[in-house]
Each structure stands twice: as C-alpha cells, then as structure tokens.
C-alpha cells in the first residue's frame, strides 16, 4: 500500500529558500510514500513566484497557487 504525504508551503518573499525547501520535501519520497506539495504564494514582490513556477514545471507533484496581493495572516 502506498501513502501520500501532503505538504503546504505558505510562500512570501523567500526566493532564496523555496528551492531548498522543496528539495528537502522531495528527499522524503520513498517507494512507499508519494509526495504532494501545495505552494501558495501570498503576493510576493521578489521572484518567489517565478522560482516556484519553475519548480512546478519540473516536478508534477507541485501545485502552485498565487494571490496577486498580499493577504497576510488572518484569523476569522
């Protein structure tokens, strides 16, 4: 039986770190565990979105979503 591990990455202005973060997660994949990565860019003003977009093109297990404007942390 194969398991799926899902990871959610909240991304805002971390272009220097997103690749290493994704690589660290992908290193967890085994023959028994599939990886799913969901990246949500919260209106980054650096190149975070572009880096994440390139990663999502290289790795099919990455799903990328983006807000055009930063929504910040909210509790409702």
Q: Which of 50, 44, 59 is nearest to 7 (CA)?
A: 59
Q: What percent of the chain has pLDDT over 70?
A: 95
Asked if residue 74 has pLDDT above 60, the reply is yes
Query: pLDDT (tens digit, 9 = 90+) per residue, 32-49?
Result: 999 999 999 999 999 999
Asked if residue 2 has pLDDT above 90, the reply is no
- Whether pTM exceeds 0.85: yes
User: Where residue 56 falls among pLDDT bands split at 50, 70, 90?
Assistant: very high
Residues 6 or more apart in contact with residue 49 via CB below 8 angstroms: 11, 41, 64, 66
| Maximum alpha-carbon separation in the chain | 42
User: Where residue 75 falls among pLDDT bands split at 50, 70, 90?
Assistant: low
> In three state form, how does the secondary structure of 16-65 look?
CCHHHHHHHHHCCCCCCEEEEEEEEEECCCCCHHHHHHHHHHHCCCEEEE
């Amino acid at each position: 039986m194969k398991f799926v591990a899902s990871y959610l990455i909240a991304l805002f202005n971390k272009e220097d770190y997103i690749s290493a973060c994704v690589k660290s997660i992908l290193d967890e994949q085994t023959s028994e565990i599939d990886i799913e990565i969901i990246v949500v860019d919260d209106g980054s003003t650096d190149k975070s979105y572009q880096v994440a977009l390139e990663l999502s093109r290289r790795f099919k297990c990455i799903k990328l979503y983006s807000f055009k404007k930063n929504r910040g942390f909210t509790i409702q």
